[in-house]
Structure 1
Amino acid sequence: MNAKFVLTLLTSAVLAACTTVGPNYEAPAAHAPAAYRAASPAGAELQRDWWLMFDDAQLNALEGQALQASPTLAAAAARIERARAVFGATRADERPRLDVGASVTDLRTSAKSVTTPVLGGQPIIFDGTQTGIQASLGWEIDLWGRVKRQAEAAQAQLDASTLDAAAARVALTADVAAAYWQWRALADEANALQRLRDSRAKAFQVAQTRFDAGASTTQDLERVRAELAAADADLADLPRREALVLNQLAALTGQPAAGLKLQAAPLATPPQIRAGLPSELLQRRPDLAQSLAQLHAATAQVGIAEAAFYPSIRLTGSFGYQSKELGDLISAPARLYNVGPSISLPIFDGGRNQANLAGAKTQVDESLAAFRGRMLQALREVDDALAELQGRAAVVTAQNRTLASAGEALKVARSRYDQGAVSYLDVTEAERTPLATERALAQLRGAQWAATAQLVKALGGGWTPAGPGG
């Protein structure tokens, strides 16, 4: 019996390796353009912990806090573990299952049952204790590769969960940097706006003196008063804007906003980051790799659905001992066993299998379209960030020219005031353009840094396929 059983197992294993129905997964072409629409500047290459390139201790601390305390990353990690458990359970279906059990049963049969044996007109009654020990083995012979496709789909889903966590890490770290840089830009704007407001206050004092002396009109006085009020309004709105940014930063780093203690420092021009080629994007963004993993899983599901049309063969067997006396349990006369295959062939299912197959194929089409859409979106995000950086840089250059010219005009106004040729009101008027330009430059630098964070996210934040776990 044992030799036959082993031979049956070996034969079944050979048969199970013969056929795997359904399409094999092939990665689709990315169809990336040769270059981005905006010229890709030369610059630093992103690394996994890309924020270190900025050499900012406060940013490094915020990123570390976010990676440690983010609920988003914790949820992503839990999804990985769940997918790993599903994969492990699926792989178990590829192997035989062996169960061992023991039983002790008090047994008495009925003397009145129609199944009670009769000998000499008297019913035979079984009454006593029965002890048994038995091992059972079950294994589905995977002739059509259904179980293999299930494991393939589970592996692809595990890959997708891992890549989802990597994408969440990229998004989180980029969002933390964007919020931090926005807060610093607001601090720069507050300084410029305070200087502008002080200048408007001096202008109003001069205008009020001139008006009281009858040297200017009510219209001149009210115009300066309106400009001072506008500066006061903008300055009063800054705490609200700063609070919103700090609240966002606190949520991203998993701590109360009151616990954030940041020191403001002026923002310089952000360093350039190498964007590379569009064809490299698939190897740089974990969300694109995740989309391909989901397509892989959907493709494997087609094979699972096709296998449902074919016979299912299961090999079962058991071996054990059963005896009414415990002392005679492990003995040849108490031995029992059975072995044999069972086959199930779908004949009529009301169209269920055909509907499942059609649904699986539709899921492949949907996953393929989702990948192509995500690829187009990724290309657009890089192009948008590059265009934003280039456009803002051009405006900064123009504003610096404006600041230089306005600074020269202010020097002339102060010189003429020192010579008694003009009033101090003319000096304050000359201060209007350079101070307003300084505020505009602070806002532009904030926009440049925001675009830098956008580019980091669009390029995948230094992720590489060799280490998608994030």
Structure 2
Amino acid sequence: MIQLKSVLTLVAVATLAACTTLGPNYQTPAANAPAAYRAAAPAAGAELQRDWWLMFGDAQLDALQAQALRASPTLAAAAARIERARAVFGATQADRLPRVDVGASAGGLRTSAKATTTPVLQGRPVTFEGETFGLSASIGWELDLWGRVKRQAESAQAQLDAATTDAAAARVALTADVAASYWQWRALADEATALQALRDSRAKAFQVAQTRFDAGSSTMQDLERVRAELAAADADVADLPRRQALVLNQLAALTGQAAAELKLDAKPLAAPPQIRAGLPSELLQRRPDLAQSLAQLHAATAQVGIAEAAFYPSIKLTGSFGYSSEDLGSLISAPARLYNFGPSISLPLFEGGRNKANLASAKAQVDESLAGFRGRMLQALREVDDALAELQGRAAVVDAQNRTLNSAGQALTVARSRYDKGAVSYLDVTEAERTPLATARALAQLRGAQWVATAQLVKALGGGWSSPRDASGA
């Protein structure tokens, strides 16, 4: 009967434990995103996928991205953080279940005849000597009356979500940086071609100017001006390998290999394709760093419930059952049976303000996490606007430079025609070459800037990641 009453008591207390959860429940804060981006966003364009770089059909870029994803220590560290967070979550889940231990013991026993506590019978000390054997099982379970354990599991799950989205954000950043460096290297190769043509033209102009000066048909000022232009072109040509090496070194570091191992083929860059930016409100589903920030806010909110539960009583159910006997043969028998069970209650009466301080700290952490999310949201909006403005502005400049190139090309054609007819000298032809060759170099630089801005837009839009709530996979 006593056992039945105890069981009924445990059931009643366990039912009560499932009814109360302290602390605020997490709610996703409003993003407060504008209706549209400030910069003009293309209404149509390519939709980013998880492996977004495949849309460009560049096998060389694909290989670099695969190498980076395999060798990046940043991604390896992010994966380790996921495993650590998963282990913590598993440990908190275990706290919700009873703990069961079993044990066995065997040993000899003899009490002292000289000890103060030795009993005395008829003037003689009574000692005990023999063997003892035991088997036991114990159980312990903390009743989650106030939802402390539940909130711990909730916080651990949110931390696991944060670690997962942190890894996704690292992947987006890495692949965007690899693409930006690769496109920058290709743009430098295009610039090198244009720059070499400009240098060759300046060299021819200097030869003509030298010949005319030697013949007395031009002044020293004209000769030195052309010499200075050739020297400037030589300086640009000499500086280009340094710039290319720095970009190549960066690309090698991103892909986890030595720069000497990188063997790339230079191919001219065309205009980058348009990428659909979508609406600002979609960033919450598109950017893993925003999802990470929300997960951290969720974890902080759960910690408030944990801190509040510290003000309330803690009830633990403990019990043990086993056998103890001096004779191994009679160990498993009714007379050798022993057990005890029952609840234990602890109530905090004086903590020196510790619980109040912990609660205040938890609430402050929520405020900090909320402010961090809002700041990150503003930063995300700015990054998209910056990338769109960069692409829009570069496109306008490219259009103007193309018009310049067309007009300068026509002027060069006229100059060559007049030279063929003997109306002008070759120096006039080289002068006419100045604008189209310089414009070709500027266009190579602008094209590279467009592609780098494309990589920045990809990163700002989340690189094809989508929230697991809306699409599978991260």
TM-score normalised by L of structure 2: 0.97
**Alignment-derived partner of residue 267 in structure 1:** 269
Q: Tell me, what secondary structure is at the counterpart of 2:307?
A: helix
**Alignment-derived partner of residue 11 in structure 2:** 10
* Partner AA of 2:162 in structure 1: A
CA distance in 1, matches of 2:248, 2:358: 50
8 Å contact 1:38–1:387 — kept in the other structure? yes
CA distance in 2, matches of 1:428, 1:386: 39
CA distance in 2, matches of 1:461, 1:21: 39
CA distance in 2, matches of 1:410, 1:266: 24
* Partner AA of 2:72 in structure 1: S
**Alignment-derived partner of residue 36 in structure 1:** 37
**Alignment-derived partner of residue 223 in structure 2:** 221
Q: Tell me, what secondary structure is at the counterpart of 2:216?
A: coil
8 Å contact 1:163–1:469 — kept in the other structure? no
C-alpha displacement at 1:124, in angstroms? 2.4
**Alignment-derived partner of residue 254 in structure 1:** 256
* Partner AA of 1:76 in structure 2: A
CA distance in 1, matches of 2:128, 2:94: 41
8 Å contact 1:49–1:462 — kept in the other structure? yes
1:406-431: CA deviation from partner (whole Å, max 9, x where unpaired): 00110111111111111100100000
CA distance in 1, matches of 2:343, 2:386: 62
C-alpha displacement at 1:381, in angstroms? 0.3
C-alpha displacement at 1:308, in angstroms? 0.5
Aligned mate of 2:438, from 436, 439, 458: 436
* Partner AA of 1:290 in structure 2: Q
* Partner AA of 2:26 in structure 1: Y
Q: Which residues of structure 1 form unaligned runs of 5+?
A: none
8 Å contact 1:162–1:469 — kept in the other structure? no
1:191-215: CA deviation from partner (whole Å, max 9, x where unpaired): 0000000000000100111111111
C-alpha displacement at 1:255, in angstroms? 1.1
Mapping 1:63-462, distance limit 5 Å: 63-462=65-464
Q: Rate the CA distance shift 1:395–1:269 in 2: closer, same or farther, 3 A.
A: same
CA distance in 2, matches of 1:114, 1:264: 94
CA distance in 2, matches of 1:60, 1:96: 51
Pair 1:23 & 2:24 matched = yes
* Partner AA of 2:20 in structure 1: T
Q: Tell me, what secondary structure is at the counterpart of 1:114?
A: coil
Q: Tell me, what secondary structure is at the counterpart of 1:163?
A: helix
CA distance in 1, matches of 2:160, 2:122: 68
CA distance in 2, matches of 1:355, 1:289: 29
TM-score normalised by L of structure 1: 0.98
* Partner AA of 1:129 in structure 2: E
Q: Which moved more, 1:40-49 or 1:363-372?
A: 40-49
Q: Tell me, what secondary structure is at the counterpart of 2:238?
A: helix
Identity of aligned pairs, percent? 83
Q: Which residues of structure 2 form unaligned runs of 5+?
A: none
C-alpha displacement at 1:2, in angstroms? 5.2
CA distance in 1, matches of 2:472, 2:233: 49
Q: Tell me, what secondary structure is at the counterpart of 1:350?
A: coil
* Partner AA of 1:160 in structure 2: A
CA RMSD of aligned residues (A): 1.2
CA distance in 1, matches of 2:447, 2:260: 27
Aligned residues: 470
CA distance in 2, matches of 1:184, 1:456: 19
Q: Tell me, what secondary structure is at the counterpart of 1:27?
A: coil
C-alpha displacement at 1:10, in angstroms? 2.1
**Alignment-derived partner of residue 48 in structure 2:** 46
CA distance in 2, matches of 1:109, 1:268: 95
